[in-house]
Amino acid sequence: MSAPASPATRSAAFPLRILPTATYGKGRARRLVERNVVAYRRRWWILASGFFEPFFYLLSIGLGLNHLVGNLQLAGRPVAYAAYVAPGLLASSAMNGALFDSTFNIFFKLKISKTYDAVLATPIGVRDIAIGEVTWALMRGSIYSFAFLVVMAAMGLVATWWAILCFPAAMLIGFAFAGVGMGATCYMRNWQDFDYVSLASVPMFLFSAVFYPLSVYPGWLQLVVSCTPLYQGVDMLRELDAGVLTPALLGHAAYLFLLGLGGVTVASRRLGILLRP
């Protein structure tokens, strides 16, 4: 008979037991989410640290350059530079939270600590691992997004009540990057391969129209940038924050959802090969 769970373990997992299963994964995958919650209960400061990078960008660039740049045009009306930049940084916050957890942490569990080998000794299967880890990465990105959206509202950078839709939209961004991050991590052989993650994420952050309009680029580069997932998220959040509801929002949402779903599918299949007895 297994030993009863400690009070600390039960209290850490309690929020997951009272939430609808749709919020953190169904079936056995939720057990892996509970495991991650328990593992981080004494390392909450690691989760909190990822919020500050885009927040500092907002303070330094958004507010620092606000008086120098002046107003920009968004949907035909002028907006302050800080209000223009804030939705883009919200998108990058969702990306950072989901991408970090679905890359470095997954690789450590897969290659170093061999966590998944032990997990597969339980009724949890490979598909449950993929869904559970992507769900946890999505939860981490969602925490950052919610906190950042609260800061935006407190600083007066929310233009309309439609901005409340920015939170589920940011969750969709997190899902896309969590799926892609985990799918890519399953093909990495060593820590040096993570240079490719930085090679992809840093230019995407700098060139995805977070800090200036897409129109500043030449036509061919506009096409390239518009195909990146972060730009899709930035444009979606910027329109929602301004209360501009267009059919393009559905296109952005479909792009990000299919990207995340594809990443989860690839990760599930690849893990099946790597963890096969």
In percent, the amount of the chain with pLDDT more than 70 equals 85
Cβ-proximal residues to 255 (8 Å cutoff; 6+ apart), any chain: 176, 229, 232
Among residues 49, 71, 69, 72, the alpha carbon closest in space to that of 61 is found at: 69
Query: Residues 58-90: pLDDT tens digits?
Result: 777 767 777 777 777 776 677 888 888 889 989
- Asked if 132 and 29 count as a contact pair (C-beta separation under 8 A), the reply is yes
What's the pLDDT at 49? 65
- Residue pair 32/13 in contact (Cβ under 8 Å)? The answer is no
Mean pLDDT, range 2-27, rounded to an integer: 46
Q: Which two tokens stand for residue 103?
A: 């890359």
Residue 236: partners with Cβ closer than 8 Å, 6 or more residues away: 91, 169, 173, 249, 252, 253, 256
Enumerate the β-bridge partners of residue 101.
Answer: none
Phi, psi of 276 (to 5 degrees): -65, 130
Cβ–Cβ under 8 Å, residues 136 and 143? no
pLDDT exceeds 90 at position 233? yes
pLDDT, one tens digit per residue, over 31-52 is 888 888 887 777 666 666 666 7
Sign for the CA dihedral angle at 146, 104, 182, 120 comes to: negative
- Domain residue spans in the chain? 43-274
Kindly report the pTM of this predicted structure. Answer: 0.82
pLDDT of residue 93: 85
Residue at token pair 């037991």: 17
